[in-house]
């Protein structure tokens, strides 16, 4: 008995998403593949440790070089970055903003589309609560990706950003709208 035509059709390649949790001392990166059916698979994660640079501008250079190396090695299709949260310490917030800007610039310079998500959006997407703590995020990321052992916090956050983007992409495709519009519809009334 011949297979139905749809079974013979080539399956679309997975979409590779690079998630970034920016930091001025350590930037988390996480890479996932998203299959056409929405399944998310772990590809890579690590922290980019920037503290051994001699000055803050050289930390930013190290961040750029590290991201460019990962982009060349893993060839992501899209990037998701966590938005900066407000801090009580103005200098820390400024440095974090500069690191985030460097991360976004590194990706845009490689012609990658960048989506941004607030921490509350990420927590809501992964745990169902915008007030989830770090341990809950680490646990859910590990469970969703089938990873064993405790994840380093920055890398877990980066994977969480990538997973959030995967969920938003899937919602957008189902709704036939842009990803940010899908998030707006998805999160209404639940924050």
b/e for 86-124, b at 16 or more Cβ within 10 A? eeeeeeeeebbebbbebbbebbeeeebebbbbebbbbbb
% of the chain beyond a pLDDT of 90: 57
Which among 21, 78, 121, 157 is annotated as catalytic?
21
Confidence (pLDDT) at 9: 63
Q: Is-catalytic flag, 82? A: yes
Q: Is-catalytic flag, 21? A: yes
Q: Where are the domains of the chain?
A: 5-187
Q: Is-catalytic flag, 154? A: yes
User: CATH number of 5-187: 3.30.365.10, 3.30.420.10, 2.70.98.30, 3.40.430.10?
Assistant: 3.30.420.10
Which among 33, 78, 121, 154 is annotated as catalytic?
154
Answer whether residue 131 shows pLDDT above 80.
no
157 CB neighbour count, 10 Å cutoff: 29
Which among 33, 78, 82, 157 is annotated as catalytic?
82
The 10s digit of each residue's pLDDT in 8-61 is 667 778 999 999 999 999 999 999 999 988 899 999 999 999 999 999 999 999
The 10s digit of each residue's pLDDT in 49-84 is 999 999 999 999 999 999 999 999 999 999 999 997
Confidence (pLDDT) at 190: 36
Confidence (pLDDT) at 75: 98
């Amino acid at each position: 008995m011949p297979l139905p035509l749809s079974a013979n059709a080539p399956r679309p390649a997975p979409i590779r998403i690079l998630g970034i949790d920016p930091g001025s001392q350590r930037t988390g990166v996480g890479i996932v593949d998203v299959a056409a059916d929405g399944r998310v698979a772990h590809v890579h994660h690590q922290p980019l440790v920037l503290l051994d640079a001699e000055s803050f501008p050289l930390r930013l250079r190290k961040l750029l070089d590290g991201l460019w190396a990962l982009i060349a090695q893993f060839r992501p299709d899209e990037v998701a970055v966590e938005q900066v949260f407000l801090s009580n310490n103005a200098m820390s917030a400024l440095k974090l903003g500069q690191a985030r800007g460097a991360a976004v610039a590194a990706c845009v310079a490689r012609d990658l589309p960048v989506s941004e998500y607030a921490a509350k959006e990420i927590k809501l997407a992964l745990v169902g609560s915008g007030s989830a703590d770090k341990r809950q995020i680490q646990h859910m990321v590990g469970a969703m990706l089938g990873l064993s052992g405790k994840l380093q916090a920055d890398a877990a956050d980066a994977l969480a950003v990538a997973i959030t983007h995967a969920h938003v992409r899937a919602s957008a495709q189902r709704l036939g709208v842009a990803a940010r519009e899908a998030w707006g519809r998805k999160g209404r009334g639940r924050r």
